[in-house]
Chain A
Amino acid sequence: MEIIINGDKILLPESVKTVSDLLSHFQLNNKIAIVEVNLNIINKQDYEITTLSNGDKVEIVHFVGGG
């Protein structure tokens, strides 16, 4: 599946089906993030049940603490 993440077209392996899979794929699953799919923010408790489709536009912002 090919989706657009933060403006870049990214080809994802078959194993990535949900938002939760996507965060694991980018090793962001242990971080706190805001995820937007096609302009809708996804609730954290819905990451596992929110499936992605070809061509979806996803924005991911993860929180960091340094400064």
Chain B
Amino acid sequence: MTDRYSRQELFAPIGKEGQKKIAAKHVLIIGAGALGTGNAEAFVRAGIGKITIIDRDYVEWSNLQRQQLYSEEDAKERLPKAIAAKQRLERINSNVVIEAIVGDATARELQLIMEENKPHLIIDATDNFETRMVINDISQKYRIPWIYGACVGSYGISYVILPGKTPCLNCLLETVPLGGLTCDTAGIISPAVQMVVAYQVTEALKILVEDWKSLRNKLVSFDLWKNQHTAIRVDKVKKVTCPSCGEKPTYPYLSYDLQTKTAVLCGRDSVQIRPAVRQDRDLGELAELLAKQGIQVEKNPYLLSFTADGHRLVVFKDGRVLVHGTKDMIEAKTLYNRYLG
């Protein structure tokens, strides 16, 4: 037990002092997919004090190729990713406090986390720009660094955003990119994930041991299949007029988010519906109700699923519903209202 972190402590830029700092830190990981599981395992093995991991989805067979914390059992049981991740992480390192949240990383949810238990760092492991813009505003409002990371195919990209120092994601993007980019039509290979995870975790360790001068300070991208690697200094892109990090911030994505209730899950052929007001659902009662209509229901402690009108609907305890087999929000809402509304 005592030499658990000896190799990491031998690494001079961390040392015993750095290890103590790591053990006192709390990281929030948003998303428990490929990047989220890779990051989480690395932090837990490195002896972080606490991680909070939030994810709205459950484990499916197509995740197992690259989402390193999950097993066939998890996919069979359709365990929520946050729960399956926590179970595995606790077996890896029982000294780390792991908080799992099965839910949507909305502005409201993230602000609650910030008010209750402010983390030292936020890791982006989401699969969409809408959530990233919310993370970006949260980071600026609460003055917490965050590390952008994304990948598709054999391509990956990462950047460290430090409030008050670097440009923010809103400065870099100027607008939220529309569809196409997040949809996994191009597929993904696991080394691209691992490479982004390596960039994210390394910069994170520098932040956690407070070795600020060693940070990369560049926007980095690579294509492992095409043998390309690029790094650009983007300091000059920082805008004083930026609504997220400028002189008069309004954090536009923290209020916009409150209107979002329906979202198409990219590459999943699924629509998520979230009630306007968060309300826990009694899954037992719902199962009975559906059974009375002759509908066959599958259930675990976290979610319930059934097939109706040719679509599979998955109901989470926190009230969210996934409608599979459609990208049409109206059709999804119709089914939602028909069986659950």
Contacts and interface: CB of A to CB of B under 8 A. Distances in A.
A30 B180 contact: yes
Contacts of A30: 180
Interface of B: 31, 33-36, 124-129, 132, 149-152, 155-157, 172-175, 177, 180-182, 184, 188, 193, 196, 219-221, 228-232, 234, 236-237, 266-267
Among A6, A7, A31, A60, chain B packs the most CB atoms within 10 A around the CB of A6
Contacts of A44: 174
A63 B127 contact: no
A34 B150 contact: no
Contacts of B150: 63-67
**Minimum-distance CB pairs A-B, first 6:** A65-B182, A66-B152, A61-B221, A67-B35, A65-B181, A64-B152
A67 to B, nearest CB: 4
A32 B132 CA distance: 15
Contacts of A21: none
Interface residues of A, number: 19
A2 to B, nearest CB: 17
Contacts of B149: 67
A49 to B, nearest CB: 18
B181 to A, nearest CB: 5
Contacts of B129: 63, 65
Contacts of B128: 65
Interface in A2-46: 6-8, 30-32, 34, 36, 41, 44
Given A34-B219, A62-B221, A65-B129, A41 B230 contact: no
B126 A63 contact: no
B219 A67 contact: no
A62 to B, nearest CB: 7
A61 B125 contact: no
A7 B232 contact: no
A63 B175 CA distance: 12
Contacts of A64: 150-152, 155-157, 181-182
A64 B193 CA distance: 13
